[in-house]
Amino acid sequence: MSAAPRISRQGLLFALIGLAGLALPLVQLRPNRIVPGEPLSLPASLGWPGWALAVPLAAALLALLPARLPPWAGLALGLTGALLSVLALGWAATALIAPDAPLARVSPAAGFWLLLLAFALAAADALARLAPPVAWRWGLLLGTVLAGAAILSSGVLGDISVMREYQSRHDVFWREAGRHLLLAFGSLGLALATGLPLGVLVHQVPRLRGAVLGALNAVQTVPSLAMFGIMIPLFGWIAATVPGAAAAGVAGIGAFPALVALFLYSLLPVVSNMAVGLASVPPPVAEAAAGLGMTRAQRLWRVELPLALPVVLAAVRIVLVQNIGLTVIAGLIGGGGFGAFVFQGLNQTAMDLVLLGALPTIALALVAGVALGLLTAQAGGAPLERTAPA
């Protein structure tokens, strides 16, 4: 018990997950996009080159075990392993799809997802222990995004079912992607434009605090589906009765109610974090700013807002990640975005189509979350999370 363990506990977990992934089927081969298919492991789908891939993958997983593994090596193993897993998936699909069966689909199965999870966790864990400077983290984020884009555009994954769905509707895909970003960022922009001044007001006029935050809290408790549901009759009625409203874009269904609902959800984090950020300015600092002869506006702009910035950026992060996810629901009321694919796919029981909506949403949320976390760190906010050495 007292001796230092020579096998890291995280490493063991990652290796077990990854080895389970190798043992489970990597892909599913189906005659068409709807019927259930036949699960195939990596060697079964690729033959001897499959073994040539499986062995180094297993070796990489076992290499994660030693407790004394340097973090940079863990990071390299994680990134390389994730890349290899994705490539293996693409190659397996290409090998399995016969030219005479154009409707056949190869989709990633549990084995692939577990492999990817194991290597991604290993990379994330190593990164947390490495705690590199923020500039390095930006570089890593950018590199990962570029690598992902390069793989997707190289065509290696072209025979995967999700990419098949993409190929058959790539025009629609980019339109919905644009719509998704517009809804998520547009609602954030609106929330910042109104929420930040409101937060300042709540801080400076404490009497308003209870009422404003209470109302926003109430909004926050409305379930998203119910919220979208309320928007339909409400804005439908306004569009029908208020002259000019319909011409201005107000409508019961579509992007408008989606934008309004997302905006309302965004307000609470923005307003409350603005107020909390201002309240967290140390009293002697606020007192000194006043005592040295700053006007109220100078105090706000030169001292209080800069010091509240990390807390505000934390709110922006929460709201952006939340809105990127919630925008999927907007697909239900014709708001567009990646949700359109998700709900279309659900209706057609076509999981590939669901994934075409879900995967980019997850990727967007991850990138936005990491990027804003880095911005917060640069603004002198909460130190980047560190894990205790294993």
Kindly list the residues in this chain that would bind another protein in the complex (CB under 8 A): 282, 284-295, 298, 303, 306-307, 380
Q: Which is nearer to another protein, 240 or 292 (CB)?
A: 292
The label of the residue with tokens 């072209």 reads 158
**Cα distance between residue 333 and residue 276, in whole Å:** 35
Closer to another protein by Cβ: residue 38 or 287: 287
| Smallest distance, another protein to C-beta of residue 380, A | 7
- CB of 102 or CB of 282, closer to another protein: 282
Between 56 and 306, CB nearer to another protein: 306
Quote the least distance from Cβ 319 to another protein, whole Å: 24
Tokens of 181: 């970003």
Please, what is the minimum distance in Å from the beta carbon of residue 282 to another protein?
7
CA atoms within 13 A on the CB side of 85: 30
294 vs 384, beta carbon nearer another protein:
294
Give the shortest CB-112-to-another protein separation in angstroms.
47
Which pair of tokens denotes residue 177?
């992607």
Work out how close the CB of 383 gets to another protein at its nearest, in angstroms, rounded to a whole number.
13
Complex with another protein: residue 232 or 384, whichever CB lies closer: 384
> What is the smallest separation between the CB atom of 305 and another protein, expressed in angstroms?
10
